[in-house]
């Protein structure tokens, strides 16, 4: 192939694409543009000039006060204005920070008993109560999770290093090394020096435990420096680092998979639990367990609320709901989840979005919100026999619950029948896809590859919630393997790893890929075996991987 052909071929896909913009998306962007244009129009001369002048004046005054106090050797109590290019003029005039600029922790998610007020502004000291969880960015270079009870203080933050002090509690951190700045975490009996990595520090009365999932950290303890590498953990009593496993590894994996900080303008979403619910997922990333409040990039978003089993992807045994909402910049939206559902059309609707809560200090109505529930289900759908319900028309949720109950009892035939009826009656409902997945899973378990394949094909035709996409693709790969389609299974597994890098099935998929490749050539299997041993040294396939690796010449 000559040069133009090769380039034309590589970019032909781009020539054909046309990114569509739907009307809701377009309207949302317009509302932001309109707000900016209104702001421009409403700015009179004194807003343009007087406030910046006043801000500059107060900045000079504060700087002078601070310099004088430093000169006199007194502790500095002065505050200086730190203008942000994104902040409005009013915010610039009033936004005050400590002169040492150590207020570098910007929380974006709090859950449990951690107060939602922490989401306001930046902090240099945080205390999280027992059972609380906080996620934050530190100087825009680190993403941290604090598990309560915990106390964290910023000791200093300059161009060379950010120094944190973890008095007690668990700190999980993903640090991106930029501009030669390192991160140091001081904790009882140890100091952890980080260059760029995913690691955790747990400070307890017994000392400090450091665990590293990616990269390397230096731990200075008892007058000596120990290096803790990837997949290792150092307990207070350890002389040398041990393999990372158990809760520490799970926490780090969960931290990595958690929802990222917002980019650009953000609003606050509060999720209030009426009853204890399962974890909440947002665009495939774990948000947490309610009650929680989170700063999210403004725009429409879908929360997937799962019950039991969602974390291990056994979605078929969970009740899954979707709440679509629109996050507006600087506003608070409230979603109430986990409550009981109305039993039939006409009952009181699910308490939904747009209400007020203790979190909604800036409370405002939502521009658009939708809670799919039974009311939205087709009223003209056929009504099969539902012996469990006395007269009332069975909803999709009820049918799904009935199937779940049958599965629990081990009556898979009844569960399958109920799920098939559900899919036939509510083909476009929110329970149709989970039901199809469950049918496919049961078919796979009984060795009926064709039925499983058929259901998976049907699932792939519909846009899936991200929480369902991963198990569907994984099951699809297993069906391909079981039915002997080796090439398709290999492609499926490779695609799965590319699409879901943080999947809980990654270890298993990697092991399968390595085994397949090992059957072909050692050379193609070796990198996969190495990766498996590096990432999952305690995994179920580790011994086998080591044995196979020894069979391969270097």
Number of Cβ within a 10 Å radius of residue 220: 15
471 binds another protein per the rule CB under 8 A: no
Q: How far apart are CA 357 and CA 368, in angstroms?
A: 18
Q: How far apart are CA 552 and CA 554, in angstroms?
A: 6
Contacts of residue 33, defined as CB under 8 A and 6 or more positions apart, other chains included, come to: none
Number of residues near another protein (by CB under 8 A): 43
Nearest distance, CB of residue 533 and another protein, angstroms: 23
The residue with tokens 């069906």 is 479
33 binds another protein per the rule CB under 8 A: yes
87 binds another protein per the rule CB under 8 A: no
Q: Would you say 191 or 531 has its CB closer to another protein?
A: 531
Q: How far apart are CA 457 and CA 448, in angstroms?
A: 15
458 binds another protein per the rule CB under 8 A: no
Q: Would you say 431 or 500 has its CB closer to another protein?
A: 500
Q: Would you say 6 or 551 has its CB closer to another protein?
A: 6
Nearest distance, CB of residue 25 and another protein, angstroms: 7
Residues between 295 and 324 with contacts to another protein, criterion CB under 8 A: 297, 299
* Piece in contact with another protein (CB under 8 A), picked from 205-213, 383-391, 426-434, 458-466: 458-466
Q: Would you say 155 or 367 has its CB closer to another protein?
A: 367
264 binds another protein per the rule CB under 8 A: yes
Q: What track of x and - describes contact with another protein for positions 410 through 439 (by CB under 8 A)?
A: ------------------------------
* Piece in contact with another protein (CB under 8 A), picked from 59-67, 210-218, 267-275, 494-502: 494-502
Q: How far apart are CA 109 and CA 116, in angstroms?
A: 8
> 94, 450, 499, 538: which one contacts another protein (CB under 8 A)?
499
- The answer to whether residues 221 and 233 touch, using CB atoms and an 8 Å cutoff, is no
- Give the tokens for residue 246: 């158990």
- The answer to whether residues 416 and 424 touch, using CB atoms and an 8 Å cutoff, is no
Nearest distance, CB of residue 73 and another protein, angstroms: 41
Burial class of residue 420, CB neighbours in 10 A (0-12, 13-18, 19+):
middle
- Give the tokens for residue 121: 């502004």
* Piece in contact with another protein (CB under 8 A), picked from 5-13, 66-74, 196-204, 336-344: 5-13
- The answer to whether residues 173 and 198 touch, using CB atoms and an 8 Å cutoff, is yes
> 284, 351, 355, 504: which one contacts another protein (CB under 8 A)?
284
49 binds another protein per the rule CB under 8 A: no
Q: Would you say 6 or 408 has its CB closer to another protein?
A: 6
Question: Taking phi first (over 0 means left), then psi (-120 to 50 degrees means alpha), and beta for anything else, what does residue 223 get?
Answer: left
- For 178-197, letters b (16+ CB in 10 Å) and e give eeebbbbbbbbebbbbbebb
Q: Tell how strand 182-187 and strand 161-175 pair up.
A: parallel
10 binds another protein per the rule CB under 8 A: yes
Please report the DSSP string for 491-503 in residue order. HHHHHHHHH-TT-
Nearest distance, CB of residue 328 and another protein, angstroms: 13
Q: How far apart are CA 422 and CA 378, in angstroms?
A: 12
Residues between 349 and 378 with contacts to another protein, criterion CB under 8 A: 370
Nearest distance, CB of residue 86 and another protein, angstroms: 11
Number of Cβ within a 10 Å radius of residue 158: 11
Nearest distance, CB of residue 438 and another protein, angstroms: 20
Q: How far apart are CA 134 and CA 118, in angstroms?
A: 9
* Piece in contact with another protein (CB under 8 A), picked from 234-242, 304-312, 443-451, 457-465: 457-465
> 347, 495, 520, 546: which one contacts another protein (CB under 8 A)?
495
Q: How far apart are CA 293 and CA 290, in angstroms?
A: 8
- The answer to whether residues 344 and 281 touch, using CB atoms and an 8 Å cutoff, is no
283 binds another protein per the rule CB under 8 A: yes
> 76, 216, 451, 466: which one contacts another protein (CB under 8 A)?
466
Residues between 13 and 32 with contacts to another protein, criterion CB under 8 A: 13-15, 17-26, 28-30, 32
263 binds another protein per the rule CB under 8 A: yes
60 binds another protein per the rule CB under 8 A: no
> 6, 48, 222, 547: which one contacts another protein (CB under 8 A)?
6
Q: Would you say 235 or 367 has its CB closer to another protein?
A: 367
Nearest distance, CB of residue 256 and another protein, angstroms: 15
Number of Cβ within a 10 Å radius of residue 359: 23
The β-bridge partners of 220 are 191, 225
Residues in the chain: 554
457 binds another protein per the rule CB under 8 A: yes
Q: Would you say 145 or 453 has its CB closer to another protein?
A: 453
Contacts of residue 125, defined as CB under 8 A and 6 or more positions apart, other chains included, come to: 151, 152, 153, 154
Q: How far apart are CA 550 and CA 554, in angstroms?
A: 9
Which residues of this chain interact with another protein, rule CB under 8 A? 3-4, 6-7, 10-11, 13-15, 17-26, 28-30, 32-34, 36-37, 176, 263-264, 283-284, 297, 299, 370, 457, 460, 463, 466, 491, 495, 498-499
């Amino acid at each position: 192939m000559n040069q133009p052909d090769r380039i034309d071929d590589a970019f032909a896909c781009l020539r054909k694409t046309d990114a569509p913009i739907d009307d809701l998306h377009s309207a949302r962007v317009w509302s932001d543009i309109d707000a900016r244009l209104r702001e421009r129009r409403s700015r009179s001369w004194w807003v343009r000039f007087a406030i910046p002048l006043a801000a500059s004046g107060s900045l000079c005054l504060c700087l002078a006060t601070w310099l004088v106090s430093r000169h006199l050797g007194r502790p500095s109590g002065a505050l200086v204005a730190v203008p942000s290019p994104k902040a409005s003029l009013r915010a610039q005039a009033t936004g005050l920070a400590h002169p040492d600029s150590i207020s570098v922790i910007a929380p974006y998610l709090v859950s449990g008993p951690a107060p939602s007020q922490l989401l306001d502004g930046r902090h240099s000291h945080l205390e999280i109560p027992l059972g609380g969880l906080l996620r934050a960015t530190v100087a825009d270079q680190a993403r941290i999770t604090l598990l309560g009870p915990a106390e964290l203080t910023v000791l200093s933050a300059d161009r060379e290093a950010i120094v944190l002090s973890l008095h007690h509690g668990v700190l999980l951190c993903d640090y991106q090394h930029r501009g030669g700045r390192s991160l140091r975490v001081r904790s009882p009996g140890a100091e952890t020096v980080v260059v760029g990595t995913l690691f955790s520090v747990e400070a307890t009365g017994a000392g400090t435990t450091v665990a590293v999932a990616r990269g390397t950290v230096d731990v200075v303890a008892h007058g000596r420096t120990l290096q803790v590498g990837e997949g290792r953990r150092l307990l207070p009593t350890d002389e040398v680092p041990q393999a990372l496993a158990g809760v520490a590894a799970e926490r780090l994996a969960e931290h990595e998979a958690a929802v990222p900080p917002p980019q650009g303008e953000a609003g606050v979403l509060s999720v209030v639990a009426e009853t204890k619910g399962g974890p909440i997922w947002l665009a495939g990333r774990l948000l947490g367990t309610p009650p929680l409040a989170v700063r999210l990039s403004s725009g429409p978003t879908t929360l997937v609320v799962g019950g039991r089993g969602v974390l291990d992807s056994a979605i078929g045994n969970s009740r899954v709901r979707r709440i679509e909402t629109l996050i507006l910049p600087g506003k608070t939206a409230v979603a109430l989840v986990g409550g009981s559902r109305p039993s039939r059309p006409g009952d009181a609707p699910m308490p939904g979005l747009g209400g007020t809560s203790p979190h909604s200090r800036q409370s405002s109505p939502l521009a658009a919100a939708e809670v799919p529930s039974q009311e939205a289900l087709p009223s003209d759908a056929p009504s099969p026999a539902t012996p469990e319900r006395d007269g009332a028309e069975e909803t999709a949720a009820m049918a799904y619950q009935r199937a779940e109950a049958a599965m629990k009892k081990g009556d898979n035939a009844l569960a399958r029948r109920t799920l098939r009826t559900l899919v036939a009656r509510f083909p476009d409902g929110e329970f149709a896809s989970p039901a199809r997945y469950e049918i496919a899973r049961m078919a796979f378990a009984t060795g009926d590859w064709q039925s499983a394949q058929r259901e998976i094909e049907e699932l792939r035709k519909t846009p899936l919630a991200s929480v369902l996409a991963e198990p569907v693709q994984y099951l699809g790969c297993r069906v391909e393997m079981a039915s002997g389609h080796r090439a398709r299974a290999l492609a499926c597994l490779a695609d799965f790893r590319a699409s879901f890098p943080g999947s809980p099935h990654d270890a298993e998929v990697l092991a399968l890929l390595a085994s397949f490749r090992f059957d072909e050539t050692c050379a193609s299997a070796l990198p996969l075996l190495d990766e498996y041993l590096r990432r999952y040294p305690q995994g179920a396939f580790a011994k086998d991987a080591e044995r196979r690796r020894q069979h391969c010449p270097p």
